[in-house]
């Protein structure tokens, strides 16, 4: 098993505490089968332009990695190509950042051709600016058929290859986007409302869809990013109405911009929803932060103004007093939230009733 040493910065006016970010980074790495050998947090006014961390701290990390047998350094902050190259030279191990870790998990989880293409595009776009930091092998002169001439470097050849691949994937995703658009048009003509389950990764969205739709073939696993594709199933509401309930990729702190861009086709399903059901893991100690991340991501993809219900999931893991306190901190009205436990099958009939009533009110306001 690979061992990683984790590093993070504590900066002024930081949105999230570095300890929380490192805990999450540890969990992300576990999903890749990588063990955390140690962590360090350095307080700074701003990131160091050459190393991210201070040079002295980098020297200490090099010694620790050698002593602990760590073969990987993972920085919570995004690294520039120069910072990554400089760190690798001093520490002597492979260097990743949080963005790359998340993309590697997406790569591991991708099942459908669309998801695989989206992840590949994000990885290509990430790799292009980092090519110069790959070492002397990228500086060799090359020549031959299909190159610009004998003076072209390996770096230039590889960059052009990646850029061509990005354009090729972009064309394929545009075709898929067009197909999705036609599917949405057909659904609108059928006048079947589409409701999207959205939320943080591993909050229980897939489990809720599995139970409400009765489709036991849907994969619902207790791990990060088990769903990267949009799954849509028919669900009958108590009034007799039928909706299409969809589940798509979960959100996370600092979701790499490249992945947001690459998954734009998939995320457009959320933007086209009649209303949203925001699923929150209410047992999480940082549920408020998680809600903020979800709200920020929804605004980022253009879904910030869509009406929403809140599902406070995993109530089997907390007491009723803790639930009441957490709900009060979130500031969500009782009429807008439903407490559920998929494990204990609690709150799911109430969720169906709430979606039915919510839809009825929306339709009445539009008359």
Yes or no: say if 199 and 251 are a contact pair by the CB < 8 Å rule.
Answer: yes
Using CA atoms, how far apart are residues 107 and 86, in angstroms rounded to an integer? 26
Are 356 and 214 contained in the same domain? Answer: yes
Are 164 and 235 contained in the same domain? Answer: no
The domain in which residue 353 lies consists of 192-366
Residue 46 half-sphere exposure toward CB, CA atoms < 13 A: 3
Residues in a beta bridge with 196: 246, 276
Using CA atoms, how far apart are residues 349 and 280, in angstroms rounded to an integer? 18
**Quick one: pLDDT band at residue 119, thresholds 50, 70, 90?**
confident
Give the whole-number percent of the chain exceeding pLDDT 70.
90
In CATH, what number is assigned to the domain containing residue 259? 3.40.50.300
- Going by C-beta distance under 8 Å and a sequence separation of 6 or more, which residues neighbour residue 300? 260
Are 135 and 242 contained in the same domain? Answer: no
Are 82 and 126 contained in the same domain? Answer: no
Yes or no: say if 206 and 220 are a contact pair by the CB < 8 Å rule.
Answer: yes
Q: Please tell me the total number of residues recorded for the chain in this structure.
A: 367
* Radius of gyration (C-alpha) of the chain in whole angstroms: 23
In the chain, how many domains are there?
A: 3
Q: Give pLDDT, residue 257.
A: 75
* pLDDT, greater one: 257 or 318: 318
In a domain, 179, yes or no: no
Highest mean pLDDT among 10-14, 179-183, 334-338: 10-14
Yes or no: say if 67 and 220 are a contact pair by the CB < 8 Å rule.
Answer: no
Are 50 and 64 contained in the same domain? Answer: yes
pTM score of the predicted model: 0.81
Closest alpha carbon to 5 in 131, 103, 93, 84: 93
Q: Give pLDDT, residue 229.
A: 65
Are 321 and 340 contained in the same domain? Answer: yes
Distances (CA, A) of 134 to 140, 154, 234, 308: 12, 11, 49, 46
Are 198 and 347 contained in the same domain? Answer: yes
Q: What is the pLDDT of residues 50-62, one digit of tens each?
A: 999 999 999 999 9
Q: What is the pLDDT of residues 269-306, one digit of tens each?
A: 888 899 999 999 999 988 999 999 999 989 988 999 99
Q: Give pLDDT, residue 141.
A: 44
Q: Give pLDDT, residue 251.
A: 85
Please say if the pLDDT value at position 31 is more than 50: yes
Q: What is the pLDDT of residues 170-200, one digit of tens each?
A: 999 889 888 888 887 887 777 889 999 999 9
Are 224 and 150 contained in the same domain? Answer: no
Whole-number mean pLDDT of the chain? 87
In a domain, 272, yes or no: yes
Q: Give pLDDT, residue 194.
A: 92
DSSP 3-state assignment of 234? strand
* pLDDT, greater one: 7 or 142: 7
DSSP 3-state assignment of 155? helix
Please say if the pLDDT value at position 149 is more than 60: no
In a domain, 166, yes or no: yes
């Amino acid at each position: 098993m690979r061992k990683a040493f984790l590093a993070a910065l504590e900066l002024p006016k930081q949105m999230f505490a570095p300890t929380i970010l490192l805990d999450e980074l540890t969990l992300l790495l576990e999903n890749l089968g990588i063990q955390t050998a140690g962590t360090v947090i350095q307080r700074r006014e701003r990131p160091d332009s050459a190393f991210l961390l201070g040079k002295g701290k980098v020297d200490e990390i090099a010694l620790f990695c050698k002593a602990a047998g760590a073969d990987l350094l993972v920085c919570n902050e995004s690294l520039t190509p120069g910072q990554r190259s400089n760190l690798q030279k001093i520490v002597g191990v492979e260097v990743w950042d949080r963005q790359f870790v998340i993309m590697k998990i997406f790569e591991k989880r991708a099942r459908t051709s669309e998801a695989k293409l989206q992840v590949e595009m994000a990885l290509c776009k990430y790799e292009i600016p980092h090519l110069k930091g790959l070492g002397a092998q990228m500086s060799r002169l090359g020549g031959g058929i299909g190159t610009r001439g004998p003076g072209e470097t390996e770096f230039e050849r590889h960059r052009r290859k990646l850029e061509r691949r990005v354009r090729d994937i972009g064309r394929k995703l545009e075709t898929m986007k067009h197909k999705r658009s036609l599917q949405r048009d057909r659904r609108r003509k059928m006048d079947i409302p589409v409701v999207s389950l959205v939320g943080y990764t591993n909050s229980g969205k897939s489990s809720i869809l599995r139970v409400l739709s009765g489709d036991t073939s849907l994969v619902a696993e207790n791990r990060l990013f088990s769903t990267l594709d949009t799954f849509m199933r028919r669900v009958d509401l108590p009034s007799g109405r039928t909706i299409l309930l969809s589940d798509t990729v979960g959100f996370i702190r600092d979701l790499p911009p490249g992945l947001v861009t690459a998954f734009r086709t998939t995320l457009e399903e959320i933007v086209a929803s009649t209303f949203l059901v925001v699923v929150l893991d209410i047992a999480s100690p940082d549920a408020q932060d998680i809600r903020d991340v979800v709200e920020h991501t929804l605004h980022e993809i253009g879904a910030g103004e869509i009406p929403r219900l809140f599902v406070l999931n995993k109530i089997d893991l907390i007491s009723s007093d803790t639930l009441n306190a957490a709900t009060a901190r979130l500031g969500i009205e009782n009429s807008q939230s439903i407490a559920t436990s998929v494990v204990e099958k609690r709150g799911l009939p109430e969720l169906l009733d709430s979606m039915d009533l919510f839809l009825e009110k929306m339709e009445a306001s539009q008359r």
